[in-house]
Structure formats: structure tokens, C-alpha cells
Structure 1
Amino acid sequence: MPSSAKTFRHDDALLPTLLASSYVLAGYLLGGLSMLTDVWYLNLFGVLWFAHSMVIGAYLIHEAAHLSIFRERKHNRWFSELMLWITGCSYSNFDDISHKHARHHSDRADIVSFDFRPILQRHPVALKTLQILEWAYIPALEILMHALVIILPFIKPNRHKRRARVLSVLVIRLALFSYLASISLDFLWLYAIAYLLFLTFMRFMDVHQHTYEVFETLDQKRGPEAKLRDKHFEEHNTYSNLFSVKHPWLNLIALNFSYHNVHHRQQLQPWYRLPKIHKELYGADQTQVLTFRHLMKSFHKYRVPRILNGDPINLPVKHDEGESFIGVDGVSFLTAH
């Protein structure tokens, strides 16, 4: 058996993993260098590539969380930790992210340690501020969710052990940003734009993939109620939000994360096999498929009400191809809380 086959989960993984990882590293380095120049079109190029490299890096974290890249957990952890730094999400660790995401699959729900919706309803000033920012297409709620990864270890007793990591990452990142700002002060706002684009893209992919309930049970053992939600429930409350049905290669923009029903049915299948498996399993059946054109309308129309929304299960979103499907915010697999 070749050494690569012993290392990787799948014997055909070497080339796809190398290509995706190289794209991320190249975009991170060359995109970052482009943002350090004083040439506007290089800045624009750098921001877009840098943002997209973080997107692909994030979906490689998702692959690693399922242990679908390497055979051994430690190799998936090492790989994921690198991608966490690239995506600016290194305040979380691999084990927290994989645990939260595993609960999402096993409980067939969006599992969190707390639900921010009732909290926001009790604080109208904070809610109004978020609503104004979201109206202006600033992903303020997503920023808040990422900020909470930093804040919660200093508030919740069961997260105190994460303080050392958070403080270490903060010191290193602040030092790096200070150094890069000394080369070009413009880098700071260009990075901010790239990160906002990254968060917006990730949110767009998340909000319409499920009509799941939100449960505040992340810090608890899996409850008996989770067993009530079976595979039939999972299939009919999961949607594949494709960029294109006719041109499957366009879904590579999200590393095929959009083939979400297939992913939930066969979690160990790698990203590069999903379009073929989707075609084999579903053929021309688009019962659980929602497409980019319709979801963009919903994403725009409901960007403010989505802050407090929680979709009911078994919502008939296909009646208008998802255009009235509000979706749910704050459920990213990158924010392990």
C-alpha cells in the first residue's frame, strides 16, 4: 500500500487535498502580499483571493472535523489547526469544533451552548444596533458570534481552560497585525473587508441548509429527544443550496459544501466526490435542492428579520424555491459555543 494511502482516509485524496490546500496557502500569502502594495488593482485582487482562500480553508476544516481527509485524528487536527490560523478562527480549537459539529449531525439540530435570540430581545439597544448594521450588509451578528469565542472563556466557568489559548492567539495576532500595519497601514482595512466578505459568504451557505431547531445543549450530554429525529427527518429538513445544477463545477466555489444532503447521508465522503454521488442518488429529483438565484433574494430580503428568526421544522420552503425561506443565523461550525 502506498504511503499516501496509509495517511489519507481515501486512496484518491492526495491530489485533491494538495490542490485545495495549495490554493488556500497561495491565496493567503499572495493575497496578503497584494494587500500590502499601494496598487489599487492588486489590493482588489488580494482582498478577493484572500477572502476566498479563507472560505476554502474553512471548508477544509469542516472536512477535517469529519476525519475525512486523514485516517488518524491527530493528522486531521494538525491540518485543521493550520487552517484555523488562516481563517482567523484560531481562538477555537479543533476538538471544540469537531465536537459541536458532531452534535449537529447526531442530534439533527443546531446545537449551541446558549441561544442569543431571547437575550437580544431583552436588550433593545443591542438588538437595534445589530439590525442597523445588518441592514447595511455588515455581518454584525456573525462578528458577535466569533467575538464570543474570545469572550466566553472569561465568563463561563466550564470554558476557563480555554483562556490560555485565547490570550496566546490574541498576543500573536496583534503582534502580526502591528508588523503588517508598519509596512502598510492600508492592510488593516483591506484585511477587514476580506474578513467581512469571508463571513458573509460563510453565512450565506449556512442560513438555508436546514430547517432545524436550535437547542442549548452543547454543554450537556446528548438527550433522549435527539433520538426522536430520525434519518427521514434529517433528509427532509436539509437542503442542498447549489450555485448551479447545470454546471456542477461552479459549486467548487464552496468546495462542494452546497451538496448538503449527500454530505449528511454519507459524512465520510470527501468534498470532491459529492457532485457525482448527488447525481447518483437524486438524479433529476430536486425536491431538496435550492438554487443561488432564489436564495439570493431571500438572503437580501430577510437580512434583518433573520437575526431573531428560528424556522419551524418541516417548513415547506420549496413552494417558492426558497424565496420566502428566512433561514437562521449564528450556527456556523467555526464558532464552537
Structure 2
Amino acid sequence: MLTKIEETYFRCKGSLLPNVSALLYCHLSYLGGLGLILSLHPVLMVIGTFALAHGMVIASYLIHECGHNTLFKSSRHNALLGSMLNWLTGGCYGTFKDLREKHMRHHVDNADVVEFDYRGYLVRHPIQRKLMEALEWLYVPAIELLMHGVLIFAPFIFREKKDQRLRTARIILVRFSLLVMLFVHSPLAYLCYLIAHIMFLTILRFMDALQHNYDIIIGFDNDAELVRSRGDRDYEQAHTFSNPVSTRHPWLNLITLNFGYHNAHHSRPTAPWHELPKLHGALYGAQYESRLPFVIPFRKQLASFHKSRVARVMGDDREARGNLFAHRLQNGSAVGASGVSFLTPF
């Protein structure tokens, strides 16, 4: 019976158990964590905050899988699940269609394509820039919060998104009503939810920051002149970096659903998350594990994330050229990118 279900609905052989397990864990962690913070028991609220945050993390990477159509055979089923999971992450203000199209441009164009130039905005508004830099110094994911805020209000500001105004207004009404209800139940529970959401965004931006040193291109979907390849497969791999949580203990990479095996993912974007460790080993071999800068040791990731947390607000465009990025990765001072999450298709 299970074999027939797998053959009928799931795209890859052997994916039923890992995908169902990930989905069950995602929902149990999210809903269980929510239940724990609603209990108002101090210890349970702390546990619930961490569980809620990790439920959002797994939901986000399952959305990424849906964007690549690696879960189900049907694109419609992938889109439906991705849209549902996006309610857990808070990224549901944007459409799954936009999310998928933006991420596919990332793979096809070999660039990070964004429609809102937050860096240009901060250059024009120095007070807001100082505020963002101060928050980032305090490890608050201010840029990611800014991008999520833009995602919410984009249909009411940018004419390119005006056809989504009614849909977005309905979602704002529902989600903000739920947040108000949570606050009325307990301001402390509401605070736990906010902390969980900030933890979730911090993990995502930690993973995103060093995976590429692509150019950042500003433009809407109808900017045809921007829809061009930035290079071939060699270019893509040369500007892609793997940042696993651990190479010695591969099971720890399940914390981010194997998203750190990023070179393997870009080499074969249709490979499901549970096959990426094996694909990584087959493509690059055991000797690849210790080679900087292609695989970044976790301590180097932490060092760069810490040292460059303020500089990352504006970024360093020089890192997209030459060997500067690779050199900085080796000494733990790479700046990397902000505001390029696949959850904010803007």
C-alpha cells in the first residue's frame, strides 16, 4: 500500500518515509511549540519557543523543496503544499508562484535577483541605515525583517504587484487578527512567538549569507534585459559554496534539512533533500570535505557571521569578483549577502 502511494504521488523513489517524517516533525514542532508557549509555564514556554522556531525552519526548507518540485510528481501538489507551509513561516503575503519564479531566476541567471533595492533605500535614508546597523550589531535580523515588511506592503506600494492587493489584504486581516488574539491571551506568549520568529530568520540568513558570491541584480520580472545567464555551470559552481553544519556528524545537517550541501543542490537542483549528502560525496569525494573555500567549516561560518554582521547590511560588491570572497572565507571575515531569502520573493 505504501509503495503504491509513493509510486503514485511522490516524485522520487524512497522519498515517502523521509518526506512524511519531515512534514510530521515540522507540524508537531510548530503546533507543539505553540501549545507550549500558550501554557504560560516558564520552562515549557522556553522549550516551546525553540520548538516553534525549528518548526518554521523545516517548513521553509520544505517550501524550497516544493519550489523545485522534488516532493510530489504533480506541480500542483507541490504548489499547494508550499503555499500551506508558507503560512507557518509568515511568508504567505507573497504568492508561491512569485516565490518559485524568483528562486528559479536565481538558478537560471546565476545571480541574486531582487526587486526592492534595500541598500539603495538605506543610502538615501542614513538614519534608517544607522538603525539597521545598530540592530544587526545586536544580532537582530533587521534586514530580513525589513524585507518581510516590504513583502507585506508591496502590493499597496508598487504597481507591479497591484493585482495582489485584495489577496494580501485578506491575509493581513487573518494573520494580524491571530497575532492580536495571541497578544490578548498573553503578552508573554506573544513575545515568545516573536523571539521564535527572529530565531528562525536568523538561521535562514545565516545559511544564506555565504552560499554564493553572486552579483545582486535589481529588477522586476518584466525587465527582460535582465533575464540572461550570468555564466555557465563552471561559473555557477565557482561562485557557490557549501556550508554544512557538520561534515564529521552528517546527521546534524538535518537541522537545516541538508540545505548546507549547496554545491550538490546547484549541481542537481531536482535532487531531493535526503539525497544531497550522498550526491555531495559522489560528486566531490571525501577529499572535498576539507577544502576551503568550497566547503566552509562551521567555525569559519560563525566567525564571518559575527565579524561582518554590520558590514553585511550594505555588503561588499567586490566579493563578486576575483578571489576576495574565497580569501575572506579562509580567515573568517567574508561579508556575504543579506536580504536574499527565497521566502521573500521581492
Superposed pair shares fold, TM > 0.5: yes
Distance 1:145 1:225, change over 3 A: closer
How far 1:221 sits from its partner (Å)? 5.0
For the 8 Å contact 1:290–1:322, the answer to whether it is kept is no
Distance 1:289 1:131, change over 3 A: same
Aligned pair count?
Answer: 337
Distance 1:250 1:93, change over 3 A: same
Find the aligned partners of 1:300 and 1:260 in 2 and give their Cα distance: 21
Distance 1:221 1:247, change over 3 A: same
Counterpart of 2:191 in structure 1 is 189
Find the aligned partners of 2:264 and 2:133 in 1 and give their Cα distance: 34
For the 8 Å contact 1:211–1:315, the answer to whether it is kept is no
For the 8 Å contact 1:239–1:260, the answer to whether it is kept is yes
Letter in 1 for 2:196: A
For the 8 Å contact 1:211–1:314, the answer to whether it is kept is no
Counterpart of 1:201 in structure 2 is 203
1:242-253 maps to which residues of 2 (within 5 A)?
A: 242-253=244-255
Counterpart of 1:313 in structure 2 is 321
How far 1:89 sits from its partner (Å)? 1.0
Question: Helix, strand or coil: the match of 1:2?
Answer: helix
- Superposed CA deviations along residues 60-101 of structure 1, whole A, max 9, x for unmatched, are 000000011111111001110111001111101110100000
Percent of pairs identical after alignment? 39
- Superposed CA deviations along residues 191-227 of structure 1, whole A, max 9, x for unmatched, are 0000000010100000100010001134235547733
Counterpart of 1:22 in structure 2 is 24
Counterpart of 1:293 in structure 2 is 299
For the 8 Å contact 2:111–2:230, the answer to whether it is kept is no
- Superposed CA deviations along residues 152-206 of structure 1, whole A, max 9, x for unmatched, are 1111111001111211111111222233333323111110000000010100000
Counterpart of 2:332 in structure 1 is 323
Counterpart of 1:212 in structure 2 is 214
1:28-39 maps to which residues of 2 (within 5 A)?
A: 28-39=30-41
1:56-67 maps to which residues of 2 (within 5 A)?
A: 56-67=58-69
Counterpart of 1:109 in structure 2 is 111
2:312 aligned with 1:303: no
Counterpart of 2:164 in structure 1 is 162
Long gaps (5+) in structure 1: none
Distance 1:94 1:253, change over 3 A: same
Moved over 6 A (4+): none
Find the aligned partners of 1:144 and 1:114 in 2 and give their Cα distance: 10
- More divergent stretch after superposition (44-53 vs 157-166): 157-166
Question: Helix, strand or coil: the match of 1:203?
Answer: helix
Find the aligned partners of 1:336 and 1:293 in 2 and give their Cα distance: 30
TM-score, L = length of structure 1: 0.96
Letter in 2 for 1:315: N
Long gaps (5+) in structure 2: none
Q: CA RMSD in A?
A: 1.6
Letter in 1 for 2:273: W
2:42 aligned with 1:40: yes
Letter in 1 for 2:79: R
From 320, 323, 341, the counterpart of 1:332: 341
Find the aligned partners of 2:230 and 2:109 in 1 and give their Cα distance: 9
Counterpart of 1:276 in structure 2 is 278
- Superposed CA deviations along residues 89-136 of structure 1, whole A, max 9, x for unmatched, are 110111010000000000000011132212211211110111111111
How far 1:228 sits from its partner (Å)? 4.5
Find the aligned partners of 2:203 and 2:279 in 1 and give their Cα distance: 25
How far 1:322 sits from its partner (Å)? 5.5
Question: Helix, strand or coil: the match of 2:119?
Answer: helix
How far 1:35 sits from its partner (Å)? 0.5
How far 1:315 sits from its partner (Å)? 3.4
Question: Helix, strand or coil: the match of 2:229?
Answer: helix
Find the aligned partners of 1:57 and 1:96 in 2 and give their Cα distance: 18
Question: Helix, strand or coil: the match of 1:215?
Answer: strand
- Superposed CA deviations along residues 260-288 of structure 1, whole A, max 9, x for unmatched, are 00000100000000001101111112351
For the 8 Å contact 1:8–1:14, the answer to whether it is kept is yes
